[in-house]
Amino acid sequence: MNRLAGKTAVVVGGGQRPGATIGNGRATAVAFAREGAQVLVVDRDLEAAKDTVAQIRAEGGNGHPHTADITRPADCETIPRAATATFGQVDILHNNVGVVVAAGTEATSYDDWERGLSINLTGLWLVCRQFLPLMRAQGHGVVLNISSLAGLLPGANPYSIAKNGVNALTRGLALEYAPHGIRVNAIVPGMIDTPIGVDRVADATGRDRDEIAAARAAQVPMRRQGSAWDIANAAVFLASDEASYITGAVLPVDGGSALHTSTN
């Protein structure tokens, strides 16, 4: 408890797709608040952000909702303004937004390509670009980017390309901003039992949720899916002063999936 006491955090994509389990962004926002941070929950879906804030407040935490679509540069500009107006400073920026756009090359339209890169990579860059001057001026800050196993593996689809880009951007920003006291790290979720991971596939295919969950678990060396709390716990650690000498890391939280897929 209180590993983030006195800190402020912005969780972008802190709402969630409805489903049977908690999502990565919501769990992380709640975990940050449980550890004592004040949290601005940003989402293009204001109701989803409000639901996260309601959960934070129900537990006695301090959260505020804010709506922004990170594919719109003008919306991105509002996020640091809202954060500083609410909290005065920002210690932690957590970029969680991600949408799977991952058909084969010939099934991918130009619009799919643009959308996949815009949501998963350009939007993240736009948000970082808004917060880095503020963090540089205050002389400290932590940026966390949510990547994907798709970002470690070959894949010509927009999602894979974007997540490879997130990893490259993470390392590049870490190097560029290390002299300014800003740490930048990425978390690589593997098979996580979230609505975006499981319910999305059930909705798209009509297959049974449990069947999909079991098939995903079977692919993991640990033979189980992770939960959004596994992602949140990694985020709390990387956001905290316990990780004060860690920057440029691209950390798999995946039950060994990255090892498995790279050796088979």
Active site residues: 159
- Residues contacting ligand NAD: total by CB under 6 A: 30
**DSSP string over the chain:** --TTTT-EEEEET-S---SSS--HHHHHHHHHHHTT-EEEEEESSHHHHHHHHHHHHHTT-EEEEEE--TTSHHHHHHHHHHHHHHHS--SEEEE---------GGG--HHHHHHHHIIIIIHHHHHHHHHHHHHHHHT-EEEEEE--GGGTS---SHHHHHHHHHHHHHHHHHHHHGGGTEEEEEEEE-SB-SIIIIIHHHHHH---HHHHHHHHHHTSTTSS-B-HHHHHHHHHHHHSGGGTT--S-EEEESTTHHHHHH--
Q: Is 116 in the site for ligand NAD (CB under 6 A)?
A: no
Q: Is 61 in the site for ligand NAD (CB under 6 A)?
A: no
Q: Is 257 in the site for ligand NAD (CB under 6 A)?
A: no
> Which one of 8, 16, 157, 160 is in contact with ligand NAD (CB under 6 A)?
16
**DSSP string over 130-180:** HHHHHHHHHT-EEEEEE--GGGTS---SHHHHHHHHHHHHHHHHHHHHGGG
The CB density around residue 171, as the number of other CB atoms within 10 Å, is 16
Residues 67-86 that bind ligand NAD (CB under 6 A): 69-71
> Which one of 44, 64, 94, 183 is in contact with ligand NAD (CB under 6 A)?
44
Q: Is 119 in the site for ligand NAD (CB under 6 A)?
A: yes
Q: Which stretch binds ligand NAD (CB under 6 A): 30-38, 101-109, 193-201, 241-249?
A: 193-201
Nearest distance from C-beta of residue 245 to ligand NAD, angstroms: 26
> Which one of 141, 158, 165, 195 is in contact with ligand NAD (CB under 6 A)?
195
Nearest residue to 221 (alpha-carbon basis) of 180, 184, 263: 263
198 vs 243 by CB, closer to ligand NAD: 198
35 vs 43 by CB, closer to ligand NAD: 43
Nearest distance from C-beta of residue 101 to ligand NAD, angstroms: 10
Q: Is 114 in the site for ligand NAD (CB under 6 A)?
A: no
Q: Is 55 in the site for ligand NAD (CB under 6 A)?
A: no
Q: Which stretch binds ligand NAD (CB under 6 A): 39-47, 58-66, 105-113, 245-253?
A: 39-47
Q: Is 94 in the site for ligand NAD (CB under 6 A)?
A: no
Q: Is 185 in the site for ligand NAD (CB under 6 A)?
A: no
Nearest distance from C-beta of residue 139 to ligand NAD, angstroms: 28
Q: Is 255 in the site for ligand NAD (CB under 6 A)?
A: no
CA distance 139 to 132: 10
Binding site for ligand NAD (CB under 6 A): 13, 15-17, 23-25, 43-45, 48, 69-71, 96-99, 119, 123, 146, 148, 189, 191-192, 194-197, 228
